[in-house]
């Protein structure tokens, strides 16, 4: 909700507005709050968005896991984290419904409230915006947190935008860990392919093989044999398979605890990969 530097005042808010925080879309979006705005925030995360082509600032493990799930959703085309609500409007709503509007601790400055995620979905050619807050389950017992969440619900209802409250106990952690593992196949910072199109070449070859033949072995066993057959460094085939999963060419069952041990029939090959989208070292 309301987070930020230790000392908040109207000048701080004016500076953030001048910096363009909370504005833009996709790669041009600037979150209202960033990890660097805090001297200590516990387990914060900075993660590169494969759909937005920018770094996302997340302030908890719950936000991180929810981000992974949202990004994996095929119909979500943009994710804006730490999105600011119009402060004049939240104050009006609070006054109209007898809700205490949050202030920055130790000040009389009304807080700029933020929603953890504002996502853009594309459904049947129509653009839909939905708001998400990720919370620990115990926050459901905190009266102050519930009051602020109710204020957010009323705010988003006014825009005809769904407001979803997601508790950590509701997040399928096996799905999140699988997505995290799949995403890890992307090029790391500074990493460069052996030659342009290196991964695309072997992704096409692997997809072609899996399309043409029925195999009952596990994914890890198949990938190990693929490495030997193609003369690749050990682990390359499994990385290619993860890239195929990321591009939805090889569709996994995310409910399985260890995808690499799953038999190949548990995966569905949907299409040829074409040009895989790699980030990190390109």
Confidence of residue 2 (pLDDT cuts 50, 70, 90): very low
Q: What is the pLDDT of residues 15-54, one digit of tens each?
A: 999 999 999 999 999 999 998 886 555 689 999 999 999 9
Tell me, what's the pLDDT at 1?
44
* Top-confidence residue, 246 or 1: 246
Tell me, what's the pLDDT at 5?
56
Confidence of residue 273 (pLDDT cuts 50, 70, 90): confident
Residue 114 pLDDT more than 90? yes
* Top-confidence residue, 257 or 41: 257
Residue 251 pLDDT more than 50? yes
Range in 23-37, 53-67, 96-110, 131-145 the model is least confident about: 131-145
Tell me, what's the pLDDT at 215?
82
Residue 245 pLDDT more than 90? yes
pLDDT over 70, % of the chain: 95
Domains in the chain and their CATH numbers? 10-171 (3.40.1350.10), 175-269 (1.10.10.10)
Tell me, what's the pLDDT at 189?
84
Tell me, what's the pLDDT at 76?
97
Residue 100 pLDDT more than 80? yes
Residue 282 pLDDT more than 60? no
* Average pLDDT of span 136-155: 88
Contacts 24+ apart (CB under 8 A), 261-267: 261/218, 261/219, 261/220, 262/218, 262/219, 263/216, 263/217, 263/218, 263/219, 264/210, 264/215, 264/216, 264/217, 264/218, 264/219, 264/222, 265/214, 265/215, 265/216, 267/210, 267/219
Euclidean distance between the first and final Cα of the chain, in Å? 36
Q: What is the pLDDT of residues 174-225, one digit of tens each?
A: 999 999 999 999 998 889 999 999 999 999 999 999 998 888 899 999 999 9
Tell me, what's the pLDDT at 169?
92
Tell me, what's the pLDDT at 276?
78
Range in 210-214, 229-233, 239-243 the model is least confident about: 210-214
Tell me, what's the pLDDT at 8?
86
Residue 137 pLDDT more than 90? no
Local structure of 160: helix, strand or coil:
coil
* Average pLDDT of span 150-162: 95
Tell me, what's the pLDDT at 70?
98
């Amino acid at each position: 909700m309301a987070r930020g530097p230790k000392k908040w005042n109207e000048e701080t808010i004016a500076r953030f507005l001048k910096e363009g925080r909370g504005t833009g879309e996709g790669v041009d979006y600037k979150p209202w709050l960033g990890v660097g705005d805090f001297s200590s925030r516990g387990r914060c995360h900075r993660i590169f968005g494969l759909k937005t082509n920018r770094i996302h600032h997340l302030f908890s493990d719950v936000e991180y896991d929810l981000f992974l799930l949202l990004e994996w959703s095929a119909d979500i085309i943009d994710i804006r984290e730490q999105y600011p609500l119009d402060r004049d409007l939240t104050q009006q709503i609070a006054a109209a419904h007898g809700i205490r509007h949050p202030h920055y601790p130790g000040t009389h400055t009304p807080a700029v409230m933020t929603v953890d995620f504002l996502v853009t979905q594309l459904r049947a050619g129509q653009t839909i915006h939905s708001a998400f807050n990720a919370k620990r389950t115990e926050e459901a017992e905190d009266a102050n947190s519930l009051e602020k969440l109710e204020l957010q619900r009323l705010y988003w209802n006014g825009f005809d935008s769904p407001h979803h409250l997601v508790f950590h106990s509701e997040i399928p952690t096996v799905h999140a860990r699988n997505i995290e593992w799949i995403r890890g196949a992307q090029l790391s910072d500074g990493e460069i392919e052996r030659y342009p199109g290196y991964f695309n070449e072997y992704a096409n070859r692997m997809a072609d093989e899996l399309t043409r033949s029925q195999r009952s072995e596990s994914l890890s066993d198949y990938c190990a044999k693929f490495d030997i057959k193609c003369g690749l460094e050990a682990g390359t085939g499994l990385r290619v398979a993860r890239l195929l999963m990321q591009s939805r060419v090889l569709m996994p069952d995310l409910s399985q605890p260890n995808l690499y041990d799953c038999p190949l029939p548990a995966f569905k090959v949907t299409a040829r990969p074409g040009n895989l989208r790699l980030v990190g070292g390109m």
